[in-house]
Amino acid sequence: MVLKLGGSVITEKDRPETLDGPALDRAADALAGADRSRDLVVVHGGGSFGHHRADEHGVGVESGTGDAAAAFAVHGAMTTLNRFVLDRLHDRGVPALPVHPLSAAARGAGGELTLPLAQVATMLTESFVPVLHGDVVATAGEGVTVLSGDEIVVRVATDLGADRVGLCSTAPGVLDGDGEVVSRVSSLDDAALGGSDATDVTGGMAGKVRTLLSLDAPAQVFGIDGLGAFLAGESPGTLVD
């Protein structure tokens, strides 16, 4: 099972490098209550940690920087957030271990991602909970570029054969034109239902839905209220498959 914790769920999106402590506590509580007999990989986004620093230094998914100090500023913001997540999980007895993508991954000149996962697979067999995150990654011809949490989710779910993928977002699911949660999305046409009065969320969500549709595993999109249910095997929010 692969769980993505949206960066804007666990941070305050509008304030640089500000944790949403109560939300992270709730997420950590839910993870502490999950059935430990199932393998779980957690991936979190950057929220106001990663995005702020990346914007500041002009680093994106396609355009990079060769400035090591800039790369390290973005990476350091992400590892700080990762440390907050790990601390909350350890406080609750969740055997979480960090996996920093900068230390493991590389991108070729054509954009192709190398992300070997023997470390994650071994952590799982040893009953740990690997916690990955959006990061910067060394990229041929670009210095470092941004590697998004969503891209990591897809790679981990695909390469490790996840049964189920969960996306915990700020919205309670994929919304229709009336702002109601759609129970199931099976094509991009369904996902285009979202109204234009919520373009940010909808725009971001449409991209996420496209990505989730490309997975073999069924995916569930839900808000933090649905996290416990998802971890218990239920189907909160929207099923994307």
For residue 49, CA distances in Å to 82, 128, 132, 204 come to: 10, 25, 15, 18
Q: What is the DSSP letter of 101?
A: G
β-bridge mates for residue 41, sequence order:
2
Helix (H, G, I), strand (E, B) or coil at 135: strand
Q: Side-chain half-sphere of 137: how many Cα atoms within 13 Å?
A: 26
Contact flag: residue 142 with its own copies (CB under 8 A): yes
Q: Is there binding between residue 128 and its own copies (CB under 8 A)?
A: yes
Is residue 122 at the binding interface for its own copies, with CB under 8 A as the rule? yes
- Binding to its own copies (CB under 8 A) within 187-216 occurs at none
59 binds its own copies (CB under 8 A): no
Of 8, 48, 139, 211, the one binding its own copies by CB under 8 A:
139
Interface residue with its own copies among 61, 121, 181, 213 (CB under 8 A) is: 121
Q: Answer yes or no whether residue 112 interacts with its own copies by CB under 8 A.
A: no
At residue 4, the 3 state secondary structure works out as strand
Residue 112 tokens, joined: 């192709």
Q: Identify the helix (H) or strand (E) that includes residue 3.
A: strand 2-5
Find the shortest distance in angstroms from Cβ 46 to its own copies.
17
Q: How far is the CB of 225 from its own copies (least distance, A)?
A: 27
- Counting residues that bind its own copies (by CB under 8 A) gives 43
Phi, psi angles (nearest 5°) of residue 92: -105, 15
Among 16, 33, 98, 218, binds its own copies (CB under 8 A): 98
Q: How far is Cα 220 from Cα 15, in angstroms, rounded to an integer?
A: 28
Residue 95 binding its own copies, by CB under 8 A = yes
Q: How far is the CB of 29 from its own copies (least distance, A)?
A: 17
Distance CA 95, CA 100 (A): 16
Among 24, 86, 221, 227, binds its own copies (CB under 8 A): 86
**Does 186 engage in binding with its own copies (CB under 8 A)?**
no
Residue 90 interacting with its own copies (CB under 8 A)? yes
Dihedral angle computed from the Cα positions of residues 116, 31, 25 and 212, in that order, rounded to the nearest 10 degrees: 60
83 and 75 Cβ atoms separated by less than 8 Å = no
Using the rule CB under 8 A, give the single segment among 90-98, 166-174, 187-195, 201-209 that binds its own copies. 90-98
Alpha helix segments (H runs only) across 66-198: 68-91, 118-125, 149-159, 188-191
Establish if 19 lies at the interface with its own copies (CB under 8 A).
no
DSSP structural state of residue 175:
B
Residue 79 or 238 with smaller CB distance to its own copies: 79
Choosing from 104, 193, 198, 213, the residue that interacts with its own copies (CB under 8 A) is 104
Residues that bind its own copies (CB under 8 A): 66-69, 71-72, 75, 86, 90, 94-107, 114, 116, 118-119, 121-123, 125-129, 137-144
